[in-house]
């Protein structure tokens, strides 16, 4: 199915049959991405009397309980409820699901203390103000290990606060990145980039979202895309998510 969209006075088309999935599959166990010491996702059959919800164990159907932590067990999309004292839920915050997005690739800068960060000056070279509503960052190098890394106890790349300030100033409402967090793993609870992005608590951007732990294959070039963010209708701050891209062709 081919659709046409308008963006900044230009016409593009997208083939909705050609999907680029940038989510990391959710799997039970430890052989998958994990962070912040979250328990691994578990899947177990419902057992009630003689009934067992597993066909491989003789049951008539598969009827599974699933336990997971959206922030720690894979690709997820979160709203300001992640840091707010008030209750905001991802189901109420994300009310649109399709956006023109820009994919950019960035090699983090190493600070004197050894931290690897994304700086404002790097973004200024790659993103213009009011260019798009959604930004996707692929960090380099970009190997398949990102889909199975356990980041707990590590200090992954993060955004400097002024870098996120710039993202917000460019009008980005939906920010996606292949890291476990936009902030330093241990920062004494300051969460400066999170607070900057959602402008909390002074001018809260209630419909803005951050998606973390995505994975964009090297075969996908930096460019503009049609982005679709898919979530479950969780009335909590975050949901496992499936962001997908569609290539845009100028017409």
Contact 77, 210 (CB under 8 A): yes
Paired residues of 104 in beta bridges: 137
What pLDDT shows up at residue 105?
98
What pLDDT shows up at residue 52?
98
**What tens-digit pLDDT sequence spans the chain (251 residues)?**
999 999 999 999 999 999 999 999 999 999 999 999 999 999 999 999 999 999 999 999 999 999 999 999 999 999 999 999 999 999 999 999 999 999 999 999 999 999 999 999 999 999 999 999 999 999 999 999 999 999 999 999 999 999 999 999 999 999 999 999 999 999 999 999 999 999 999 999 999 999 999 999 999 999 999 999 999 999 999 999 999 999 999 99
HSE-CB of 177 using CA atoms within 13 angstroms: 25
Contact 172, 209 (CB under 8 A): no
Q: How many helices (H) and strands (E) does the chain have?
A: 4, 18
What pLDDT shows up at residue 232?
98
Continuous H helices in 72-213: 90-93, 120-124, 161-169, 192-198
Query: Strand pairing of 224-231 and 238-247?
Result: antiparallel
What pLDDT shows up at residue 3?
97
What pLDDT shows up at residue 198?
98
Distance (Å, rounded) from C-alpha 102 to C-alpha 202? 28
Contact 137, 104 (CB under 8 A): yes
HSE-CB of 46 using CA atoms within 13 angstroms: 9
What pLDDT shows up at residue 124?
98
Domains of the chain: 18-26+70-250 (3.50.30.50)
Backbone phi and psi for residue 150, each to the nearest 5 degrees, phi listed first: -95, 105
């Amino acid at each position: 199915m081919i659709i046409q969209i308008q963006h900044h006075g230009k016409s593009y088309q997208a083939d909705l049959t050609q999907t680029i999935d940038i989510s990391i599959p959710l799997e039970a166990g430890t052989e998958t991405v994990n962070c912040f010491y979250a328990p691994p996702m578990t899947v177990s059959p419902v057992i009630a009397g003689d009934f067992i919800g597993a066909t491989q164990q003789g049951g008539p159907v598969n009827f599974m309980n699933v336990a997971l932590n959206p922030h720690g067990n894979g690709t997820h999309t979160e709203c300001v409820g992640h840091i707010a004292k008030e209750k905001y839920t991802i189901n109420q915050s994300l009310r649109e699901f399709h956006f023109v997005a820009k994919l950019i690739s960035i090699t983090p800068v190493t600070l004197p203390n050894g931290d690897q960060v994304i700086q404002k000056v790097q973004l200024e070279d790659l993103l213009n103000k009011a260019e798009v509503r959604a930004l996707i960052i692929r960090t380099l190098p970009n190997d398949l290990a990102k889909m199975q890394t356990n980041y707990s106890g590590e200090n992954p790349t993060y955004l400097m606060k002024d870098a996120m300030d710039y993202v917000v100033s460019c009008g980005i409402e939906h920010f996606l990145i292949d890291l476990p967090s936009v902030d330093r793993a241990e920062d004494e609870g300051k969460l400066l980039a999170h607070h900057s992005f959602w402008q909390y608590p002074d001018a809260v951007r209630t419909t803005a979202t951050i998606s973390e732990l995505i994975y964009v294959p090297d075969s996908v070039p930096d460019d503009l895309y049609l982005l679709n963010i898919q979530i479950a209708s969780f009335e909590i701050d975050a949901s496992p998510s499936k962001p997908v891209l569609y290539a845009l062709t100028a017409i």
